[in-house]
Amino acid sequence: MPVQSSKQVGFDARYVEALLLDESNIKSRDYTSGLELLRKYSGIPEDQLIFHVAEIQRRAYAICPYPYIGLFRFLVCSLSEHPLYPDILARLAQDAKLVDLGCCFAQDIRKLAYDGAPTRNCTAIDLEPRFFSISEDLFQDRGRLEASFVGADIFDADEKSWTELEGNVDIVHASSLFHLFGLERQRRIACLVSRIVKPAPGSLVVGLQLAAKEKAEHIPIFNDQEPSFGHSLESMQAMWNDAAKDTESTAGSLLRWQVDLTPRDVPKSHRIGFLGDNRLTEVLWVAKLVDGAG
C-alpha cells in the first residue's frame, strides 16, 4: 500500500523518515507485553507473528502515518505497566466503567480481557474509526470482545458520544494522547475528561506519556505548527486544577484532582525521531478525584 507523504498529512518529515517500515523495528525493541498478548490471547503462531504485526502496521500507516504506529507502540500494553493496574482490574470486576481515550488499536482493553476483567463496561474511543477493524484483524477477536468502539473527536465536546458518557465513567485511560498537543488543547481534553467521569472521590485518569525531564516547556514532539507541552508535576497539577474549575460536573462539588507522576527512562533503542530529544522522558501518571477538604 502507498504511504502518504509527510507533506500530505502535515507531519514533520524528520519523524516520518525515522520510522522504517520493516520487521527490524519489531525485533529491535522490547514489545514483550503486546507480542505475548498476540501469542496467548489471539493465538497467532510464532512463525507468523512478525509478518502479521508488520502487515497490520503497513495497513494502519497507509491510513495515517502516526509515529505511534511507525514505532509499533501499539504493541505496548501501557495500562498493565501502571502501578494502579491491579486496582483497575478489581474495580472492573465490580462493574466499574472504563474509557480508553485515543485507543488506536485498543490493545490495553484486550490485555484487560486476557487478564480476566469483564470488558462489557469498557469503551474504546478514537478519532479514526478505521483503526477498529484493523485492531480486530490484529488481535483476531472479531465478535469476541464485549467492549464498545466509538469514533469521536475529543475537541468537539458537543458530540453525542460525550454527552452519553457524561458523569458515568469511573476510570479513563489516556496514554500517548495529551503529549500530542499544546497546553491549551491539553486543557480542553482535561475539561472533557472531567465532564465524563463520575463526580465522586476515586474517579481516575491514568496514562503513559512523554513529559519534560526538568522544567515544563513547549517541545515540538509531533509537529512544529503546534509545539507540544511537556509537563512537570506542578504544571500537570495546575492543568487539572483548571479543568476542575471550568467543568460544571466538578465545580459544584467539593472535589479536586490529585496528580502524581512516576518518571521512567525512555529506552535507548527508542530514542529516534522525536524521542531523540533529551529534554523528554516518559511518565506513568494518575489524576484522581479526592475530597477537596483533604
Cβ contacts of 218 within 8 Å, gap of 6 or more: 182, 183, 227, 228, 229, 230
In this prediction, residue 280 carries a pLDDT of: 79
Mean predicted confidence (pLDDT) in 63-69:
83
* CA-derived radius of gyration, the chain: 18
Residue 227 zone, left/alpha/beta (φ > 0; ψ -120 to 50; rest):
beta
In this prediction, residue 224 carries a pLDDT of: 57
Q: For residue 130, what is the DSSP state? A: H
From edge to edge, which strands make up the β-sheet containing 255-264? 148-151, 122-126, 98-101, 171-173, 204-212, 280-291, 255-264
Interval 35-59: pLDDT, tens: 999 999 999 999 999 889 989 998 9
Interval 137-170: pLDDT, tens: 999 999 999 999 999 999 998 899 999 999 999 9
pTM here is 0.88
Cα separation, 121 vs 233, in Å, equals 31
Cα separation, 38 vs 30, in Å, equals 14
SS3 267: coil
In this prediction, residue 134 carries a pLDDT of: 98
